[in-house]
Structure 1
Amino acid sequence: MPIKVLVVDDSALIRHILSEIVTREPALTLVGAAPDAYVAKRMVQEFKPDVITLDIEMPKVDGLRFLEVMMKAMPTPVVMISTLTERGADATLRALELGAVDFMAKPKLGVAEGMAEYAALIVEKIKAAANSTLGHPTQTRCTKHASMRYTGTEKLIGIGASTGGTEAIKDVIMHFPRNAPATIISQHMPPGFTTTYAKRLDSLCEITVKEAQGGERLLPGFAYLAPGNKHVKVERSGADYRLILDDGPKVSGHKPSVDVMFNSLAEHAGANAVGVLLTGMGRDGAAGLKQMHSRGSITFCQDEKTCVIFGMPKVAIEMGGASYVKPLEALSDAILDTLESMGAGTRL
């Protein structure tokens, strides 16, 4: 059965473009194109789409309000169509908190090659959304780790994610105490969005979260998020670890790539590192996690039940790269328990 898609956007041009993309894909079928939330509501009730593409900025009722109401009344996988602005990034992150599966930037018009690439990517995201798991919100819970029993720079945590990862990462690191080991994060996200995402995480976490600049000495109590157009790597610098940014080509189809980050942790930190692979479409990070595992790192994968998309962790598990497979709500304590059992010293 083709995937039923509803397009919701107040721009007639964008509705036309997205409708054409959906219509040309044999695996998809267009059930409607709504110009506002009121028409969209009727179409959702009538056609019961499998996936909705939803504009954030619409007249009368904006996309966020429509999403919030719909996810309570008739939960449906949603791919947000966002503007590449700071305001658009903030609204998109809010949409992901409300239950949207993924997001895409507004299409850039006038470049045939760019439009072909855009069409292929949005079809991929719609297909993934149709097979996603909804309804696993961030848990309000306590962790047993009010603080770590040691403070040192020799242990590192690497976290990688893609689709569904913004909320999963938040769920994990919100429960890290302020003296947790340095954490490096690669989340598939475009430039600009990572800046906003880092600020949002920083406002919610005990640890300090920042977008990586390159050259930083990795310190306890800090998390470093890969910027949306660079790979992050870790290298040894004497007794310290430092973070470097790599402007090389995409790896595993992504930049930042989780594989690049994990491979550098395997090479330079080995058994002093913990690798964590969360929800995501595709296979980025699977080979890198396997490499970490083979170099003595303890590695974790998020389980299928709590993943929005059980793609990247599934491949890593099949490759034998996971020391443990855990539900999302158990990961933070499992990671910190592992680090404490590794018996780090107190060198700064």
Structure 2
Amino acid sequence: MSGNIKVMVVDDSAVVRQVLTALLSKEAGIDVIAAASDPIFAMDKMNTNWPDVIVLDVEMPRMDGITFLKKIMSIRPTPVVICSTLTEKGAATSMQALAAGAVTIVTKPKAGLKSFLEMDAGDIIQAVKSAAIADMRRLKAMTTMPSQIPPKLKINEVMPEHEGHAIATSAMATTTDRIVAIGTSTGGTQALEKVLLSLPRTAPGIVIVQHMPEKFTAAFADRLNKICELEVLEAKNGDRVIPGRVLVAPGGLHMQVKRSGAQYHVEIIDAPPVNRHRPSVDVLFRSVAKCAGKNAFGIIMTGMGDDGAIGLKEMHDAGAETVAQDEKTCVVYGMPKEAVKLGAVDRILPLETIADAITHYGKQHA
């Protein structure tokens, strides 16, 4: 077991415990050391063998998942993957879990649970692996893949590059509107909250892809809208990108920026996952490169994998300013690292200065 990720599953459903244990145990590098029906039993087991990652339900008897999560974070901060129902109530509760220190979310439906979990095994395993390398000190300061898993489609296979950057470079003289495009994943909900809370109502229009399941992005946007000066919305097809507004790509769909005359708006599309993500940062960034070019500011933040690196390079090559979050302040330094390696980044900044960079960008081009 040495070197393997030790996982504990905590869920009051015997079927969920059985299926998750079986799926995770098949994956090389992962050991399920225990499964518990509620947090009280889980704590008894953890006293003798503490896990590296906890997969946690939020609605359980005797002690709810949020209370348990807060207890764990106060005793010994440990990466937690929330396994939540795909409902509005489940989404709202999961937002509380993320605010309390959970790393990420995977979903489970009310019906067809076993087949759903088996079908989405790749997402669940990836969530556990992402959680295992998360910097819990940083997160706390801010508050076997199955053989049939879908292929990892790259951006060119879903959104062809055939138009290049001709639109962006030839048409930008006719508008001075600016766009800020942000892409993030693991650890991003907390990081985005920190950035958006620091921005004034006069900030340029912002479009965001945060890797998150459907329904959960609506709850995430609603939470941010209540605490920020900016208007934060889950994006709908045709929504305009305007100063003072933040549009968050809806979970389960891609978001692109389009231009009509001197105005920008978003288009929400149902297309295959890119880099196994839907929404994908690459899809958003490529569209911004094409339609906004030098009138855009691209930012890639904490997250595992390489989604967004190619798109940010295209923004950079089209004349946009580009920034990557630095390694020290990332929960997972994956996506920014890949963008830096690709030569897509003008500046590397700590999380604490990204809001200032956005504000300066807006004033500079006002």
TM-score by length of 2: 0.86
Cα contact 2:15–2:114 (8 A) shared by 1:
no
Matched, 1:173 2:196: yes
Q: Does 1:45 align with 2:47?
A: yes
Equivalent in the alignment of 1:32: 34
Which residue is equivalent to 2:287?
Answer: 264
Identify which range, 152-161 or 253-262, moves more after superposition: 152-161
**Counterpart amino acid of residue 262 in structure 2:** A
Q: Output the CA distance in 2 between the equivalents of 1:214 and 1:107.
A: 26
Please state if 1:290 is matched with 2:292. no
CA contact 2:299–2:323 (8 Å) conserved in 1: yes
Structure-2 change in CA distance of 1:111 and 1:52 (3 Å):
closer
Which of the residues 230, 242, 252 maps onto 1:229? 252
Task: Give the counterpart letter for 2:331 in structure 1.
Answer: V
Given residue 264 of structure 1, which amino acid in structure 2 is its aligned partner?
S
Query: Sequence identity of aligned pairs in percent?
Result: 45
Aligned CA RMSD, in angstroms, stands at: 1.9
* CA displacement at 1:249 relative to structure 2: 2.1
The question of whether the paired residues in 2 share the 8 Å contact of 1:228 and 1:256 is answered with yes
Structure 2: which amino acid aligns with 1:16?
Q
Cα distance change on mapping 1:114 and 1:14 into 2, 3 Å: closer
Structure 1 unaligned spans of 5+: 141-151
1:215 aligns with 238
Displacement of 1:108 in angstroms is 7.2
Of 15, 18, 21, which residue of structure 2 is paired with 1:16?
Answer: 18
2:267 is aligned to 244
1:55-90 CA distance string (max 9 Å, x none) = 100111100000001101011111111011111111
Does the 8 A contact of 1:281 with 1:309 survive in 2?
Answer: yes
Tell me the number of residue pairs that the alignment of Structure 1 and Structure 2 aligns: 332
Structure 2, unmatched stretches of 5+, are 144-174
Q: Distance in 2 between matches of 1:267 and 1:318?
A: 22
What code does the residue aligned with 1:170 have? E
Which letter maps to 1:33? A
Please state how far the C-alpha of 1:13 moved relative to its aligned partner.
1.4
Residue type of the alignment partner of 1:47: N
- Does residue 192 (structure 1) correspond to residue 194 (structure 2)? The answer is no
Pair 1:138–1:90, CA change in 2 (3 A): farther
The separation in 2 between residues aligned to 1:122 and 1:160, in whole angstroms, is 21
Q: Check if 1:65 corresponds to 2:32.
A: no
Q: Which AA in structure 2 matches 1:105?
A: T
Q: Does 1:278 align with 2:301?
A: yes
Instruction: Say whether the 8 Å CA contact 1:302–1:328 is kept in structure 2.
Output: yes
In structure 2, the CA distance between the partners of 1:24 and 1:248, relative to structure 1 (3 Å rule), is closer
* 1:294 Cα offset (Å): 0.9
Alpha carbons 2:108, 2:116 under 8 Å: kept:
no
CA contact (8 A) 1:138 1:167 kept: no
| Structure 2 partner of 1:323 | 346
Matching residue of 2:278: 255
Partner of residue 147, structure 2: none
**Aligned counterpart, 1:79:** 81
Residues 153 and 182, structure 1, Cα contact 8 Å, conserved in 2: no
What is the CA–CA distance in structure 2 between the aligned matches of 1:315 and 1:193, rounded to whole Å? 27
- 1:201 maps to 224
Residue 298 of structure 1: how far off its partner (Å)? 0.8
Shift of 1:138: 6.4
In 2, Cα distance between equivalents of 1:44 and 1:309 = 25
Distance in 2 between the 1:10 and 1:110 partners?
17
Moved more, 279-288 or 19-28: 19-28
**Are residues 1:154 and 2:177 paired?**
yes
